[in-house]
Each structure stands twice: as structure tokens, then as C-alpha cells.
Amino acid sequence: MENLLFINACVRGERSRTLKLARRFLDAYQARRPDAVVTERDLCAQRLQPQYPEVLDERDALWNAGKLDQPMFDPARQFARADKIVIAAPFWDLSFPAILKIYLERISVTDITFGYDQQGAMVGLCRASKLLLITTRGGNYAGTELEMGTPQLRALCAMYGIPEFLCLDAEGLDDVRNDKEALLAAAMERADKLAEAF
């Protein structure tokens, strides 16, 4: 039975176009794989603390004591165990909302999501075969050096040992010259296609 982890970083909740696109993808995915278990982690509902000094101190103390089974590391263990991962996050300030960065810092734990071999080289410890970022952008940035969200997530996939990184996007949604309904509808169709092979 496949276990898909859905990380929801769509700050505008049900008004979010990114979330609508993600729901369309997940519905299509679930239709093709009725026995897959989809677990959602809503980052706005959960409100993880940023790694302020006291949070980092607690994390270091637990880690140094070998207590990787403590609740502080639950998000990392859940991420490491997932067979497939979908992240939905709007394009904010050329990357993604801070709540997602806080989550990524929380799950980047040595000996859970990544580690080091005898030679000191980094090795990924995550089980997932692929990670999909679903995003929508106000302007057109795909493939430019100003788009900083996908390079960061692609690099983190390499660190976590997740071989395949994919991105499903809809762009130009806040450009008054564009037909945003048509752009979103086209992205929804791409979501259906992508779900077939995911």
C-alpha cells in the first residue's frame, strides 16, 4: 500500500489557487490508486515554531542524547517514511512562504532524513521515490534565475535521497493581460496527466 504525504503550505486556505490545483492532482491520483493512503500535513494549522535559539537548543539536546523518537522529530520521521511526497505552496517573493522553510528546517535532521557515510559524504535517508511541488505564480518566472523555489527543493531532494523532483505550475495568474481562468484550467489538465504517471 502506497503512502503519500501531502504538505499543504497554501496560506490562503480554501481561496488558494495552488490548493485547488493540488486537490485536483490528489483527486486524480487517488482515483487511479484507490488503496493509496494520503496523509495531509497542513502547515498553517500546525504552526511549527521557527528554530529560535531555545527551539534549536532543545533539538540539539535531544539529538545529542540519541532521542530521535521524541515528538520534536515526528515531522522528520513522517517525511522520511513517505513513499511519495506532494508539496503545495504558492510562489511568494521569488520562492515559497516562510512556513514551508520552517517545515524544511524541522525535517532536515541528521540520521533521519539524511546522514553521512564512513567517508563523510552526505547520503539521503528518505524512502520517497519522488517529490512533486505544486505551485502557482502571479508572474512568469519558470526557468529564470529569479525563480528560487524549485532550485532549493530540487537540491533538498538530492540531500534527502529522493531521486525524482517534479514541478506542476500555473503562471501569470496576476497578469491583467492574461485569461487566468484559461491558464488555471490548462494547469488542471496537466495535473490529471501527471497524476496518471505519479
Q: Which is nearer to ligand FMN, 68 or 94 (CB)?
A: 94
Q: Which is nearer to ligand FMN, 4 or 173 (CB)?
A: 173
At 5, the amino acid letter reads: L
Q: Is 18 in the site for ligand FMN (CB under 6 A)?
A: yes
Q: DSSP secondary-structure letter at 171?
A: -
Among 107, 168, 173, 191, binds ligand FMN (CB under 6 A): 173
Q: Which is nearer to ligand FMN, 81 or 180 (CB)?
A: 180
Q: Is 12 in the site for ligand FMN (CB under 6 A)?
A: yes
Among 8, 113, 136, 150, binds ligand FMN (CB under 6 A): 136
Cα gap 1→33, rounded to integer Å:
9
Which residues are 7's β-sheet partners? 41, 87
Q: Is 25 in the site for ligand FMN (CB under 6 A)?
A: no
Among 139, 166, 167, 183, binds ligand FMN (CB under 6 A): 139
Q: Nearest CA to 72 among 48, 40, 47, 44?
A: 48
Among 8, 16, 113, 150, binds ligand FMN (CB under 6 A): 16
Between CA 157 and CA 197, with CA 122 as vertex, the angle to 5 degrees is 25
Q: Is 137 in the site for ligand FMN (CB under 6 A)?
A: yes
Q: Map residues 77-106 to x or -, x wherever contact with ligand FMN holds by CB under 6 A.
A: -------------xxxxx------------
Question: 15-31 burial, b if ≥16 CB within 10 A, otherwise e?
Answer: ebbbbbbbbbbbebbee
Q: DSSP secondary-structure letter at 110?
A: B
Residue the block writes with cell 506532494: 86
Residue closest to ligand FMN, measured at CB: 138
Residue the block writes with cell 535559539: 53
Q: Which positions lie near ligand FMN, rule CB under 6 A?
A: 10, 12, 16-19, 90-94, 136-139, 141, 173-174
